[in-house]
Amino acid sequence: MKIIDAHMHLSHIEEFKRTAAEKSLVDYSAAGILREYSENGVVLGIGMGLTETQADGFPDRAARTPMGLDLVDPLPAQIVYCIGINPYNLGVQALADIERDIQKPEVVGLKIYLGYYPFYAYDAVYEPIYKLAAQYGLPVVFHTGDTYSERGLLKYSHPLTLDEVAVKHRDVTFMMAHLGDPWVLDGAEVVYKNRNMYADLSGLMVGDAANCTRLKDSPLFFAHLRQAITYCDHFDKFLFGTDWPLAPVKSYIEFVQELIPVEYHEDVFFNTALRVFPKLNMRLQA
């Protein structure tokens, strides 16, 4: 089975480096992720553009928009990315730079970091982003749920705040990262209700292979998640993603394989990503 990792990272973020060294025990480098992909049948990874101007600075008001992947240059052919948006830097020049970059073949979407930046998804500051997404047929990915920083503000990352945007912008495809965990039942309702809303299953656990197994096999740790996915009853609207380097690729594949009924594996691990990110079709055919 071919796999697309719909949510990963490859940026100079100190917290990612620390997580890789101390928790997940992965090789946080281009060579490291490509090795894990090769060993596990992953044909493509979608990075989430993110930068910080000083160590441990994210969420960083000073970061330029568009944010990309800056851990390696040039990017490997197996990695594409979504442009990261800093709402504090969305002036005329930034919007022109976004429009220039989204025409690059390696740019497949746009990423908004709800919770990290104190703006709701329906804030007017993001309207130019939705306009560009509609114009160029690109999806918008939202961070939702828990933030990987104490400086985040959770009220901005609740998944119910996406409902208004999905209704207002029916011509845009949206992807809710992390299904809004821990508010996954609310996230599942937004996905169920809105034909243009999808969700990835990334970032739901952090740690090395042993810790991932411990969490996966716990009778209660993912009970809320299993209930939400069953309630949504649209398995073809979920996407596999690792949030690497938070966990090893192999461990995360095994986790999602157990979470999703086998008859929907090809959708979750591959097909749905092609629908949400239409530029991937050209990339995989190149």
Report whether 181 contacts 146 (CB < 8 A): yes
Give the start-end residues of each E strand in the chain.
3-8, 42-48, 79-85, 107-112, 140-143, 174-177, 197-200, 238-239
CA distance 141 to 125: 16
Write the pLDDT tens digit of every residue in 107-161. Answer: 999 999 999 999 999 999 999 999 999 999 999 999 999 999 999 999 999 999 9
Greatest Cα pair distance, the chain, in angstroms, is 51
Write the pLDDT tens digit of every residue in 44-94. Answer: 999 999 999 988 888 889 999 999 999 999 999 999 999 999 999 999 999
Band of residue 286 on the pLDDT scale cut at 50, 70, 90:
low
Beta bridge partners of 44: 4
DSSP-assigned letter for residue 75: P
Write the pLDDT tens digit of every residue in 205-233. Answer: 999 999 999 999 998 999 999 999 999 99
CA distance 25 to 38: 18
Q: Looking at residue 175, what is its pLDDT? A: 98
The DSSP result for 222-256, as a single string, is THHHHHHHHHH--GGGEE----BTSS-HHHHHHHH
Write the pLDDT tens digit of every residue in 19-43. Answer: 999 999 999 999 999 999 999 999 9
Query: Omega into 159 within 30° of 0, i.e. cis?
Result: no
Is the CATH number of domain 3-285 3.20.20.140?
A: yes
